[in-house]
C-alpha cells in the first residue's frame, strides 16, 4: 500500500509540474505579434524537465564548473610567465653603520653619497 501511495504521489507531483508549465506559458505580446497557444507537454517531457531542474542536477552542474575551473588553473601553472620590476632611488651611506672599518675610509664614520641607483629586474 505504501509503494502505491509513493507512486501516486510522484505521479501527482509530475502532473502538477506539467500543469504549471502548460498553464503558465510566457506570452509575449507586441503590437505586431499575436498570442500563441500553449504547447502540449507530455508526462515524459515534464519528468525530464523536472529531473534537469532538480537540486541534485543543479549542484552537479556547479561541481562540474568548479572542476573545469580547477583544470584551467592547473594548466595555467604550466604556461610560462613574465614578471618585471623597476626601482630608482637616491641614497647616502654612513660607513660607521657597517660595524667595521674599511681601508681608505675614516674609522669614525664617513658619509658617502648621495648616489643614484636604478634596479631593473
For the entire predicted model, the pTM comes to 0.35
CA 70 to chain CA mean position, Å:
10
Chain segment 51-79, per-residue pLDDT in tens? 888 888 899 999 999 999 999 999 988 88
Give the bridge partners for 90, in sequence order.
116
Confidence check: pLDDT of 85 > 80: yes
Confidence check: pLDDT of 20 > 80: no
pLDDT for 62 equals: 94
Residues 6+ apart with CB under 8 A from 97: 109
35 secondary structure, DSSP code: P
Amino acid at each position: 500500500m505504501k509503494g502505491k501511495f509513493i507512486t501516486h504521489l510522484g505521479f501527482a507531483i509530475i502532473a502538477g509540474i506539467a500543469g504549471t508549465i502548460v498553464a503558465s506559458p510566457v506570452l509575449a505580446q507586441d503590437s505586431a505579434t499575436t498570442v500563441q497557444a500553449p504547447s502540449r507537454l507530455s508526462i515524459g517531457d515534464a519528468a525530464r524537465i523536472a529531473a534537469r531542474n532538480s537540486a541534485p542536477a543543479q549542484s552537479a552542474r556547479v561541481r562540474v564548473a568548479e572542476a573545469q575551473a580547477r583544470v584551467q588553473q592547473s594548466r595555467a601553472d604550466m604556461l610560462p610567465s613574465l614578471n618585471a620590476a623597476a626601482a630608482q632611488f637616491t641614497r647616502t651611506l654612513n660607513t660607521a653603520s657597517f660595524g667595521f672599518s674599511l681601508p681608505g675610509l675614516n674609522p669614525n664614520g664617513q658619509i658617502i653619497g648621495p648616489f643614484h641607483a636604478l634596479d631593473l629586474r
